[in-house]
Structure formats: structure tokens, C-alpha cells
Structure 1
């Protein structure tokens, strides 16, 4: 029987071990490699072609490929023959919906039953998309912008930094702590950036940044 080749990536060794043990109990799947950083994951993908990658959403301290949306978008664009399942603690519906918009084939929540990962693997291996239990996929709209570059050029360095962290999945409060700014300041700078981009909601902002690959460099 031909097995589906799976690569797993997570910055927590215990998670890697647990996920590997779980998957290897299923005769349909074989864990061929595992990675602890985004750079390690990309090195693996450069020399092998797994059927499925299971990756954490947040794997910090990698300044080459980043993590979150940036990393996943990079994998989807450069390794199109490999399907992606995201294993994450993140439950932000806007981020999760955006992952599916990008082309992710499944999302499994770490705070749920990890056995759902096997269900997700089976669905994805058969060409389907796996959605977490009780998760409602909400379509998002993005207004067409003819002068995107002009609008982006109006955003200050500090505002741009806030948007980058927002798109990675951090809340305003978490960004404030990370950047050592007050929540009021971060909120005001985020709102200012949205006005310059002529966007009215967090949903529009997230979709805009992803669709335009603003943080892909």
C-alpha cells in the first residue's frame, strides 16, 4: 500500500513527538521529516516533495521566512504540489478564513482533540478540505484598489509595523506589549493606517494585506 508522505513542523519538540506518534498509528500516512523552524521546513521542501505538510502557524525567531501568513503563503506559491494543514492555537476567525482563501486545505486547533488531525489528513489526502468542528467559514470581500501602491506609501513605518503583526495574528493588546507601546497608541496607529488604505473593518484590512502580498518581502 502506497503511503502519503507527511512532513510536520512545530517549534515545540513535545508537540512534534506527539503528532508524529499519532500519525504513525495510521497505516495510510508516513512522517518522513520534521522541522523545528520555518527555515528547517523550507530546507526539507527544497529536497523532497511530501504530499502534505502539517505546520504550526506561529513559529517565531525566524527572520528568513517568518511565520504565520508569510510562511504559509511562501510554501503555497513555491511548493504547489504539497497540501498544507495548519495546526494552531489560533482561533481568530478572520485569520482562519484567510488561510482557506490562500489555499490551505485544513486547519486543526491544538486546544481541541488532536485525533481530528487524522480526520483532516484523510479528508485532504482524498482531495477535500477539512474544516474544524463548529467553525463557520465566512467569505470576505475586498474592494478593488487601482492605486494600491500610492495608498501604501502613505503608511508610516510604525503603522506598517503594527499591520505586519496584526496580519500575523496578534491582537492590539499583544502588539502593544511586543512593541512597548500603549494599547491606545497602537489602536490609533492601526486606525490611521486603515483610513489611509480606505478600509473600514479588520476583515477588509486582513484580506487587503494578504491579497496584495504586502508582507511577502
Structure 2
């Protein structure tokens, strides 16, 4: 198996060192560069062509959101996994709008961070469960007219696709959905791809919103 090539972008050397040591013990991940600023992250992404940039948000000069936007301007550029201490809504939406494939907070388990690198490298989206819950709660609080009507999401999807959509709405990654439904990850990816098409959803976040609007998941109380 080819190792996932990673650039670490964080202005704290100790954080980069910790992630580097963690990934050094993982044979299928290779750290190919480190950056202490957003500008350095953009330069490295263009020079060494990593599979994934693990990106902090708050960095001197160019922040992680702008760096993500510039990296994603290249259609063949690296995928970006935001890993930050700050999960404010402003940062979440900014990172996702900029094209980040994942958004995690640094207090997550180390094995979850490593798994997320593989998820994002494979082209899947991943959002920390705590952030997913907040996204759902925000949309639950919106006035009814602001929400798109649900019927478009009800018609045309199969029972299995509905199950997959429910689990996406709960914030599960493809591998977790596969384990839950006892199917292969490839099958999950096929279902998610069909959901994107049938529901006219741009990304996984929109699927989460649709799952809420259909009543498949509910905001935590």
C-alpha cells in the first residue's frame, strides 16, 4: 500500500513534532514537509505535492482558511484536513467554504486523527462529531422558511440509501458506516455518490443538513 504523503502546517513546533512522531510510527503515512505559516503551507503543497495537508487555522500572516482556499484553487492539489483547537462556527464554515475535506479538533483521540488522514486522502469528508451536532442544531434553530423543503429529498432514494444518509447525518465516516451496515467501504462510497446526485448535494455537510430536514437525525438537547 502506498503511504499517504502529508504536510503538517501549524505555527506551534511542539504540535508539529508530536504529529510527526505519531505519524512516523504509522507505516502508511509519510510526513513530507512542515510549515509554520499559511504561506509556507501553500508553497509546500505546490512544491512537494502531498496527498493531504493537515492545517491549523490560526497562524501568523496568512491563516489556515486562506491557505486552504489557495491550495484548493489547483484542481489537482492536495486535500486539506483542518486540525485546530478552535471550533468556532466562523472557522468551521470558513474552512468548509474554502474547500477543506475535513474539520477536526485537537482534543480528539490520536487514532481518530490518523484515521481522518486516510479518510480525507481517499476523497471523503469528515467532520468532528461535536461540530456535526452543532451544525444540525444551528439549522434546527433557523426559521422554517429558511429551510429548503424536504420532499425533494424523500423521493427517489432507496431504503439502503436512506440508512446511509442517516449515518452520514450522525457524523460517521465511510468506514464506520460500512461496519454499522455490514457492507464494504466501496459500497458505502457508491451509495454516498448516488446521494450526492439524487439530492443535488455539493458535499457531505449538505447531506447532514438534508438528513436533519428529513427527520432522519435530530439535534441533541
Does the alignment reach a TM-score above 0.5? Answer: yes
Aligned to 1:36: 36
Change in Cα spacing, 1:41 to 1:79, as seen in structure 2 (3 Å) is farther
**Alpha-carbon distance between aligned partners in 1 of 2:109 and 2:94, rounded to the nearest angstrom:** 23
**Alpha-carbon distance between aligned partners in 1 of 2:86 and 2:94, rounded to the nearest angstrom:** 13
How many angstroms does 1:125 deviate by? 2.3
TM-score, normalising length: structure 1:
0.57
How many angstroms does 1:114 deviate by? 3.4
Note if contact 1:85-1:108 (Cα within 8 Å) is conserved in structure 2: yes
TM-score, normalising length: structure 2:
0.56
Aligned to 2:96: 100
In structure 2, list runs of 5 or more residues that go unmatched.
Answer: 147-221
How many angstroms does 1:80 deviate by? 4.1
Aligned to 2:5: 5
Task: Show the 5 A alignment for 1:112-151.
Answer: 112-136=108-132, 137-138=135-136
Q: Deviations over 1:48-71 (max 9, x none)?
A: 2110000111102x2xxx114222
Aligned to 2:20: 20
Q: Deviations over 1:9-35 (max 9, x none)?
A: 111110000011112222211001111
Note if contact 1:106-1:129 (Cα within 8 Å) is conserved in structure 2: yes
**Alpha-carbon distance between aligned partners in 1 of 2:9 and 2:89, rounded to the nearest angstrom:** 22
Runs (4+) of structure 1 exceeding 4 A deviation are 138-141
Change in Cα spacing, 1:103 to 1:15, as seen in structure 2 (3 Å) is same
How many angstroms does 1:79 deviate by? 6.1
Aligned to 1:76: 72
**Alpha-carbon distance between aligned partners in 2 of 1:97 and 1:39, rounded to the nearest angstrom:** 21
RMSD of aligned C-alpha atoms? Answer: 2.4
Change in Cα spacing, 1:128 to 1:36, as seen in structure 2 (3 Å) is same
SS in 2 for 1:91: coil
**Alpha-carbon distance between aligned partners in 2 of 1:91 and 1:118, rounded to the nearest angstrom:** 19
How many angstroms does 1:126 deviate by? 2.4
Aligned to 2:202: none
**Alpha-carbon distance between aligned partners in 2 of 1:80 and 1:95, rounded to the nearest angstrom:** 24
SS in 2 for 1:33: strand
SS in 1 for 2:41: helix
Is the helix fraction higher in 1 or 2? 2
Change in Cα spacing, 1:68 to 1:39, as seen in structure 2 (3 Å) is closer
In structure 1, list runs of 5 or more residues that go unmatched.
Answer: 144-217
Report the count of equivalent residues.
138
